[in-house]
Amino acid sequence: MIPVIDISKLDGEERSETLAKIHNGCQEWGFFQLVNHGIPVELLERVKKVCSDCFKLEREEKFKDSEPIHLLNEIVDQGQDKKSENLDWEDVFVLHDDNQWPSQPSEFKETMKEYRAELKKLAEKMMEIMDENLGLEKGYIKKAFSGENGVPFFGTKVSHYPPCPRPELVNGLRAHTDAGGVILLFQDDQVGGLQMLKDGQWIDVQPVTNAIVINTGDQIEVISNGKYKSAWHRVLVSTEGNRRSIASFYNPSLTATIAPAKQTGDDESSVNVAYPEFVFGNYMEVYTKQKFMPKEPRFQAVQAM
């Protein structure tokens, strides 16, 4: 089971145990769930509702005539019996500060704006905990993600994985590691499907009502010089249930330079630096083409840019 951590304990007598649990979650798993995170349940309930309503009102009908449907039909017509590695059975849109948001339902914008503000604060809190656990100056990761004069990117991806008639032939989302920094996932209470890879085994990320799942991306792996490895994960689909998931990504600015951090107390000659230094925008160029492939060649490719 993925670790479930009561983050409210960070403010009391169990602070050091809680820091240690988070360190372990980052180092051994790359995935863990937060409970008692302080985001009002009432807000989370509204978020579930507006996202599900938005899917019903604006997206469900279009999904019936979308690429995944056509590709699956092709595969079935061709008589393919192996799982396709070319398609994801999902409906997705991304919200960030400067793009167009859905207009339905009418409470969507206000609710998601409020939600994003809360999640962004939680992401920054997690980054400060990682600073502390990694022996870095407070604010190090946020500063690294901001770069010289940029701002970190904060995006929220709203996904639905509708029921699939042939779940053995497609993934909801193919296996990958995330490109960016800290990912905060609010997943469906009822419909599972998310799995992460640990020690060569796929493990379910068990739904825990109103918990926030945290996972770390490739840039935290680089900054931590491999201590906090980004974990592979994937989403499976089934013939029943429409899984909703809302993933918020706290990523570097495209102009930020990312490199392994020098820990306080590190003697430069004693540290084996395992990752290159690169501009995050260049990494994203490589990632877009290689998302579902191993990450090591991405680091090599960006080093050569």
Ligand X SMILES: O=C(O)CCC(=O)C(=O)O
Minimum separation from the CB atom of position 90 to ligand X (A): 7
Q: What's the CA gap between 305 and 301, in Å, rounded? A: 7
- Least CB distance to ligand X at residue 20 (A): 26
Decide if residue 95 touches ligand X (CB under 6 A). Answer: no
Q: Would you say 264 and 137 are in contact if contact means Cβ atoms under 8 Å apart? A: yes
Nearest approach, Cβ of 178 to ligand X (angstroms)?
A: 5
Residue 178 lies near Fe ion (rule: CB under 5 A): yes
91 binds, among Fe ion, ligand X, none (CB under 5 to 8 A by kind): none
Cα 58 to the center of its chain, rounded Å = 24
Stretch 185-224: interaction string toward ligand X, x if CB under 6 A: x-x------x------------------------------
From 175-183, 186-194, 234-242, 250-258, span contacting Fe ion (CB under 5 A): 175-183
In the complex, the smallest distance separating the C-beta of residue 148 from ligand X, rounded to whole angstroms, is 28
Task: Give the number of residues written for the chain.
Answer: 305
> 280 near 162, Cβ under 8 Å?
no
Residues 239-278 interacting with ligand X (rule: CB under 6 A): 245, 247
**Interface positions, 139-158, toward ligand X (CB under 6 A):** 157
**Closest to ligand X by CB, 181 or 260:** 181
Place of tokens 């590691």: 177
For ligand X, the closer of residues 108 and 186 by Cβ is 186
Pairwise CA distance, residues 257 & 146, whole Å = 9
- The residues near 84 (Cβ < 8 Å, ≥ 6 apart) are 71, 72, 75, 169, 170, 171
Angle at which helices 41-54 and 108-133 cross, to 10° = 120
What's the Cα-to-Cα distance from 117 to each of 107, 205, 301, rounded to whole Å?
Answer: 16, 25, 35
Residue 235 as a binder of ligand X (CB under 6 A): the answer is yes
Task: Kindly state the smallest distance separating residue 42's Cβ from ligand X, in Å.
Answer: 23
Size of the residue set binding ligand X (CB under 6 A): 11
| Helices first, then strands: H and E counts in the chain | 9, 13
> Contacts with ligand X in 157-186 (CB under 6 A)?
157, 159, 173, 178, 185
Whose CB is nearest to ligand X? 245
Q: What gap in Å lies between CA 149 and CA 255, rounded to an integer?
A: 8
3-class secondary-structure state, position 297 = helix
Q: How far is the CB of 21 from Fe ion (least distance, A)?
A: 22
Q: Is 28 exposed, middle or buried (0-12, 13-18, 19+ CB in 10 A)?
A: middle
Could you list the residues that contact Fe ion (CB under 5 A)? 178
Could you list the residues that contact ligand X (CB under 6 A)? 157, 159, 173, 178, 185, 187, 194, 233, 235, 245, 247
